[in-house]
Amino acid sequence: MISAGDFRNGITIEVDNAIFQIIEFQHVKPGKGADFVRTKLKNVISGGVIERTFRPTEKCPQARIDRKDMQYLYSDGDLYHFMDVETYDQVALNEDTVGDALKFVKENDMCKVCSHNGNVFSVEPPLFVELEITDTEPGFKGDTATGATKPATVETGATVAVPLFVNLGDKIKIDTRTGEYLSRV
């Protein structure tokens, strides 16, 4: 149990039989009346955000989120298959659970599979990936002064905005949280 006075960003709690992660919190001491804690909570399963206030002495059970490193094997239709590299157990997750998490992930790459009480609710890709450009238009010499970008397709099929000097066959580093080009490899 964690009291509302001890809330911090990133902590996961159980409220109304749902699991929420604290995005923002603010301890408010009004001039008149009792103190309270104003929070913004994100439902880790549905992704919805709610605002809720708590008394500082109010207690909530702290949710335990298990993040396990698993290897992404392959997809067949709507199912994505992952393997635990320690026990070799395989898990098949549907498209609703995975979402856009595997947009920049190749087969055999490592991901974090997040679960609560054995129920998997999301997949976290690695923070940075290195992928090869499979389709892009050639850049023109002398057109780099403006910092312009062009669309490029990477080997997973995702499209990324890259600088004009990046060519077909180049390996690039991508931030999977934002989908932005970082550098050539």
Average pLDDT over residues 35-52: 88
Residue 53: pLDDT band with limits 50, 70, 90: very high
CATH of domain 128-184: 2.40.50.140
What the block records as the tokens of 175 is 């931030």
Q: Tens of pLDDT along 137-159?
A: 887 666 556 678 889 999 988 99
Query: 2-60 — its CATH code?
Result: 2.30.30.30
Predicted pLDDT at 164: 85
Question: What percentage of the chain reaches a pLDDT higher than 70?
Answer: 96
pLDDT at 141: 63
What are the distances in angstroms from CA 25 to CA 40, 50, 171? 6, 12, 41
Tell me if 2-60 shares its fold with 66-124.
no
pLDDT over 90 at 52, yes or no = yes
Here the tokens at position 135 are: 């389709």
pLDDT band of 38, cuts 50, 70, 90: very high
- Joined tokens for residue 19: 């699991």
Does residue 91 carry a pLDDT above 80?
Answer: yes
Q: What does pLDDT average to over the chain? A: 87
What's the confidence (pLDDT) of residue 25?
92
Higher pLDDT, 99 or 7: 7
Q: Which residue has the higher pLDDT, 117 or 71?
A: 71
Residue percentage of the chain with pLDDT more than 90:
23
Helix (H, G, I), strand (E, B) or coil at 98: helix
Tokens of 105: 């992930």
pLDDT at 83: 92
CA angle 137, 138, 142 (to 5 degrees): 135
Residues 133, 172 contacting (CB under 8 angstroms) = yes
pLDDT at 71: 92
- 175, pLDDT greater than 70: yes
Q: What architecture is domain 66-124?
A: Beta Barrel (2.40)
For the beta carbon of residue 41, count every other beta carbon within 10 angstroms: 22
The domain locations on the chain are 2-60, 66-124, 128-184
